[in-house]
Structure 1
Amino acid sequence: MPPKFGGGEKCAICNKTVYAAERIEAGDKPYHKLCFKCSECKMSLNLNNYAQSEGVLYCKKHFSEIVTAKNTQTPVV
């Protein structure tokens, strides 16, 4: 039986093995540098320009439009 490789940490987006040279960690989860992008506009992110809500990555613009706006709406009574 051949040896199995790729038993390391898995990317939170693609679920493939993340190696040290391509690793970014955010919210205690590992990501590939190429997978670390906004879920809305697909802009590449880094640790200085990302925001995260419920495990979903956003650029600052989409975070404020989607997450912040949703959380600040007044409930209908």
Structure 2
Amino acid sequence: MEKITADKYFFHKACFCCKHCKKKLSMYSYAPLNGEFYCIFHYQQLFRRKGNYDEGFGHAQHKDRWLLKNAADLVHDESEA
């Protein structure tokens, strides 16, 4: 069987497909995000749905993690004072 290497992952040629629509991908027709692979159409469509790469793909927004960390740091600093 042929193998494909994409983003440090190895796939059988038949197993390299879009997470959303299961369409077979090639080295020229995929977009990776967080270890998942999408066809170009669905990658763009999911991004447009929410306007960012996190929410559109079902993840918490990255900025929310910063806000939580900053809030925790403020609470920690106030408790030391």
Same fold (TM over 0.5): yes
Q: Which has the larger radius of gyration?
A: 2
Q: Distance in 1 between matches of 2:7 and 2:26?
A: 13
User: If the length of structure 2 is used for normalisation, what is the TM-score?
Assistant: 0.57
Identity of aligned residues (%): 37
Q: Distance in 2 between matches of 1:54 and 1:34?
A: 21
Aligned-residue RMSD, C-alpha: 1.8
Structure 1, gaps ≥5 residues long:
1-20
Which of the two has greater helix per residue? 2
Superimposed CA distance per residue, residues 18-65 of structure 1 (whole angstroms, 9 cap, x where no aligned partner): xxx420000011111011000111111000001110011100011011
User: If the length of structure 1 is used for normalisation, what is the TM-score?
Assistant: 0.60
- Structure 1 segments of 4+ aligned residues over 3 angstroms from their partners: none
Q: How many residues align?
A: 52
